[in-house]
Amino acid sequence: MKVIICGAGQVGWQIARHLAGEKNDVTVVDSNPDLVRRATDTLDVQGLTGFASYPDVLERAGARDADMIIAATFSDEVNMVTCQVAHSVFAVPRKIARLRARSYLDAIYSDLYRRDHLPIDVVISPEEEVAQAALARIRSPATFDTEDFLSGDAKLLGIQLDADCPVLETPLKQLSELFSTLRAIVVGIRRAGSLFVPEPGDQLFAGDQIYVFSHTVDAGRALEIFGKTARLPERVLIVGGGNVGLTVARALEAGPERMRVRVIEKSRARAEVAADALERTIVLHGDGLDAEILREAGVDRVDAVLCVTDDDKTNLLASVRAKTAGATLSIALINDPTLVTLMQPLGIDAYINPRATTVSSILRHIRHGRVRGVYSVGDSEAEVIEAQVLSTSAIAGRQIRDIDFPEGVLVGAVQKGGKVVRASGSTRIDEGDVIVLFVLAADVPAVETLLQVSIDFF
């Protein structure tokens, strides 16, 4: 597949890394020569310096025979014009644009992106994706990562194991026997910074970060087994009243949980916008690192503090200060994945990676086969892939134990006739089933091959 990625920033670079690693023909375009050089020096991609919306630049990038263009520059307008030029001049079949401004995303203007207007096939909103991830963390306070699958019937849970976890040093195979009715499975373990797919004889140890795939109904029980409780927070403090913080506060106001929310925003103008947009939420103008402002916001009584400013270090330090002052749970927005290793020593409970959420959204639309969902785990160390099984795919009609999955793959769940079943070696995968796989990054191409249909299908 030939792909042009416009924008070599964090998201563009990450998408380029994914696609180049899967042997696609990738060209990266950016007006900043340093970003282009970084991409070409570190990835197996071609680079071009120039403005992505210029027709001559797209032509030099190979737009005449490109299969897809992904417009992920910092400018909404450049992304929109790039897709228009790609469609009108070069007839690029698939166009994906990243848009930030709320006005462009309003449902009443959705006709704007029709092929006879602005021909964008997929619109990705980073702020919306990040806000949804933040809400998921708040609503699942016992996990450091969580994502829904199978239309909400199943969940991926990231759980940090503490020394009081009751099932430490117990082989995973024995856990399956002890809790035979539990529809949950450990699909990944991160130990000493390295993520791997466990074997049945592997044990769990204090300090491990594990990924558990569970039926939503059984998620609470699964958390208890690993020593966690699932109590929802009642009071939430949000540090940062920008697009993400405002979206989260609005959702919490409108949600059935009726949480009490306060927002701290450093910019007076943004604080006034947030105060006008929110009904029950108290908005304070001040610095989230200021101990006096935190006291005024009642940080010692909050169940969760969410730090979502546009600066990673501020989010980390505000999380630490809030925890020190008495907050029960801290969640930080972290763009730089190298800072994630500081979470545990700093006592930060969970984090949100904007790159991972946006990358997951884009990957969902470019995977092969009948893929319905993709979630990027950690610093793109693995993916959780949800896909429908077609009649001529290589796994149809076979038991899981007989399918030649790579070593870095585990089946998290199978949905048959709308019902989620626990996956075991004897589970037969049939046409129409929906399967969810935990896949280490190196094994994604092999899994895509298994999920593809044969040419006879067409």
Report yes or no on 326 lying in a domain.
yes
Question: What pLDDT does 127 receive?
Answer: 79
Helices (H), 72-218: 76-88, 102-105, 126-139, 172-178
The CATH number assigned to the domain holding 44 equals 3.40.50.720
Helices (H), 255-328: 268-277, 291-296, 312-324
Report yes or no on 185 lying in a domain.
no
Mark whether 450 and 384 lie in a shared domain: yes
Give the end of a domain, one of 62, 91, 124: 124
The SS3 assignment for 314 reads helix
Cβ(202)–Cβ(171) below 8 Å: yes
Mark whether 319 and 290 lie in a shared domain: yes
Question: What pLDDT does 108 receive?
Answer: 63
Mark whether 328 and 442 lie in a shared domain: no
Mark whether 378 and 346 lie in a shared domain: no
Number of domains the chain is built from: 3
Give the end of a domain, one of 124, 143, 160: 124
Average pLDDT over residues 171-191: 91
Q: What angle do CA 90, 91, 97 make, to 5 degrees?
A: 95
Which of 242, 249, 296 lies closest to 271, judged by CA?
Answer: 242
The SS3 assignment for 149 reads strand
Report yes or no on 184 lying in a domain.
no
User: Which strand (E) or helix (H) includes residue 17?
Assistant: helix 10-21
Mark whether 298 and 410 lie in a shared domain: no
The CATH number assigned to the domain holding 375 equals 3.30.70.1450
Mark whether 344 and 368 lie in a shared domain: no
Mark whether 422 and 317 lie in a shared domain: no
Is the predicted pLDDT of residue 37 greater than 90, yes or no? yes
Share the mean pLDDT of the chain. 88
- What interhelical angle do 33-42 and 10-21 show, nearest 10? 30
Cβ(332)–Cβ(348) below 8 Å: yes
For 343, the domain range is 235-352
pLDDT in tens, 307-335: 999 899 999 999 999 999 999 899 999 98
Q: One-letter amino acid identity for 179?
A: F
Question: What pLDDT does 180 receive?
Answer: 85
Give the end of a domain, one of 352, 373, 398: 352
pLDDT in tens, 382-433: 989 898 888 878 888 999 999 989 999 999 999 998 899 888 889 999 989 9
Quote the CA–CA distance of 275 and 281 in Å, as a whole number: 8
Report yes or no on 181 lying in a domain.
no
